[in-house]
Amino acid sequence: MWLPSIISICLLVAATACAPGGSLPQAPSPQPITQPSPPTDRSNRPTIGPATAVDSGATVRSRVELNDPACFYNWDASGRCRFFEVIPSGDGELTVVLSWSTPSGQSGGLMDLFIVDSSGSWTYADDSMKQEKRALVHPVEAGRSYVLIVMAYGEAVDFELTTLM
């Protein structure tokens, strides 16, 4: 009873595909992940969550998970964040290097790196031409808190964060 209906539907689909200008329905193609542009309004800063203490000169291996908090809605609310805090023992320049391996099937540029000081002032790694690596050099004062934010887009991403004075 239902077999004639199925055969009719199959013939209709085949006839549509074979007709001039006809085609079979196709699945939508996946959308590439694009890295957002930085906001022009620097008064809006990232929301800082609980931070893991990191010593200067340390290397941390971690992962930004899909259920980690969003932290910078003015930048890109889809980005998920991990937070680290450095309190330097001396004045100078703090160098922070973020590196990662891009998950299979994804394009590079899936992460951002920010430094937020105790006054709320922030900066980010503006080296988007380098795939799978971000670096910042930032002046620091002894005893002052600096929060390092690692933001990832799309899939969960493993990363390595190195700090140097």
| pLDDT, tens digit, 9 for 90 and up, residues 51-84 | 999 998 999 999 999 899 988 777 677 788 999 9
- Cβ atoms of 49 and 128 within 8 Å: the answer is no
CATH class of the structural domain 52-164: mainly beta
The predicted pLDDT at position 128 comes to 59
pLDDT lower than 50: segments of the chain: 2-3, 6, 10-13, 17, 27-42
The predicted pLDDT at position 143 comes to 94
Maximum separation of any 2 CA atoms in the chain, in Å? 84
Indicate the SS3 state at residue 14: helix
- Cβ atoms of 38 and 75 within 8 Å: the answer is yes
The predicted pLDDT at position 152 comes to 87
The predicted pLDDT at position 55 comes to 92
- Cβ atoms of 164 and 90 within 8 Å: the answer is no
Number of CB atoms found within 10 A of residue 80's CB: 19
C-alpha separations of 150 from 5, 35, 96 in Å = 56, 14, 11
pTM score of the predicted model: 0.69
